[in-house]
């Protein structure tokens, strides 16, 4: 049983490496818009992977909007700029940096266990007052782009380790704590940031930021994370990719 599980994990890891490599090649224009990727058979040889793994990697790139599969021809690269924060997805900043080749850095500004949730974070579905509270500044090319406020709720708060710069909360939750993330709800508004956040993001006198409020849930539907992200309006672009789903 253990050998089978390791094999599955290996295939999943290889699939993600292939997705990241092809995404970076598209991002850096090694494959231009309108180009066809190598055939599945060529990719099998190139990556030393099974055809099933290659197909799953291409399916993932298709869902992300990088490519479109055309029967009898192959996978064509789409004109879809990925250098934007995918608000509709659930992707860590570290994963974005790795897959998109961003020159990005995350600074941890504050982390503390709170015995009481901040007033504006209280929700009926939150059954605990304790949270592991984080404040982080995201920089791209050295410029402040996003200021994140996070509350990680119990049970993870009890054992959540000290976070360092550029660490990923999602990697810790999923890989170290065995808590798989499943889905999220998000609300996007434009609001005035407080002076501290405005100064960190260099917002100017108006202090207006694009605010994304997220609730992240585990596979068992329990709420694990509340996040308020303040995006610099000059650096924010909301680009979504939607595929037709017949209901």
What number of other Cβ atoms are within 10 A of residue 33's Cβ?
Answer: 12
Q: Which domains does the chain have, with CATH numbers?
A: 14-77 (1.10.10.10), 93-235 (3.40.1410.10)
Terminal C-alpha separation, the chain: 38
Statement: the pTM of the whole predicted model exceeds 0.85: no
**Confidence at residue 83, expressed as pLDDT on a 0 to 100 scale:** 43
What number of other Cβ atoms are within 10 A of residue 152's Cβ?
Answer: 24
**Confidence at residue 2, expressed as pLDDT on a 0 to 100 scale:** 38
What number of other Cβ atoms are within 10 A of residue 51's Cβ?
Answer: 11
Give the pairing of strands 74-77 and 104-114: unpaired
**Confidence at residue 51, expressed as pLDDT on a 0 to 100 scale:** 94
**Confidence at residue 39, expressed as pLDDT on a 0 to 100 scale:** 95
Ordered alpha helix ranges (H), 93-180: 93-100, 156-159, 169-171
Q: How do residues 24-43 score in pLDDT, each as one tens digit?
A: 898 888 999 889 999 999 99
**Confidence at residue 100, expressed as pLDDT on a 0 to 100 scale:** 58
**Confidence at residue 7, expressed as pLDDT on a 0 to 100 scale:** 47
**Confidence at residue 20, expressed as pLDDT on a 0 to 100 scale:** 87
| Distance (Å, whole) CA 7 – CA 195 | 51
Stretches in the chain below the pLDDT threshold 70: 1-12, 80-102, 122, 124-125, 127, 237-247
Contact in structure between 190 and 233 (CB atoms under 8 Å): yes
């Amino acid at each position: 049983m253990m050998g089978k599980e390791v094999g599955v994990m290996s295939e999943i890891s290889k699939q993600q490496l292939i997705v990241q490599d092809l995404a970076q090649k598209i991002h850096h224009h090694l494959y231009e818009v309108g180009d066809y990727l190598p055939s599945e058979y060529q990719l099998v040889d190139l990556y030393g992977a099974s055809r099933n793994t290659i197909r799953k990697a291409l399916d993932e790139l298709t869902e992300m909007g990088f490519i479109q599969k055309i029967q009898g021809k192959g996978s064509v690269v789409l004109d879809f700029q990925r250098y934007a924060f995918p608000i509709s997805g659930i992707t860590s900043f570290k994963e974005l940096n790795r897959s998109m080749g961003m020159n990005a850095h995350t600074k941890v500004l504050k982390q503390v266990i709170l015995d009481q949730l901040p007033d504006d974070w209280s929700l009926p579905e939150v059954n605990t007052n304790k949270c592991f509270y984080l404040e982080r500044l995201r920089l791209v090319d050295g410029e402040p782009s996003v200021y994140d406020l996070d509350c990680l709720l119990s049970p993870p708060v009890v054992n959540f380790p000290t976070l360092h710069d550029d660490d990923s909360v999602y990697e810790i939750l999923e890989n170290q704590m065995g808590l798989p993330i499943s889905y999220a709800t998000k609300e996007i508004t434009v609001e005035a940031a407080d002076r501290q956040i405005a100064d960190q993001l260099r917002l100017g006198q108006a202090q207006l930021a694009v605010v994304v409020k997220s609730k992240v849930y585990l596979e068992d539907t329990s709420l694990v994370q509340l996040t308020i992200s303040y995006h610099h309006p000059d650096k924010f672009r909301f680009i979504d990719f939607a595929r037709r789903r017949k209901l």
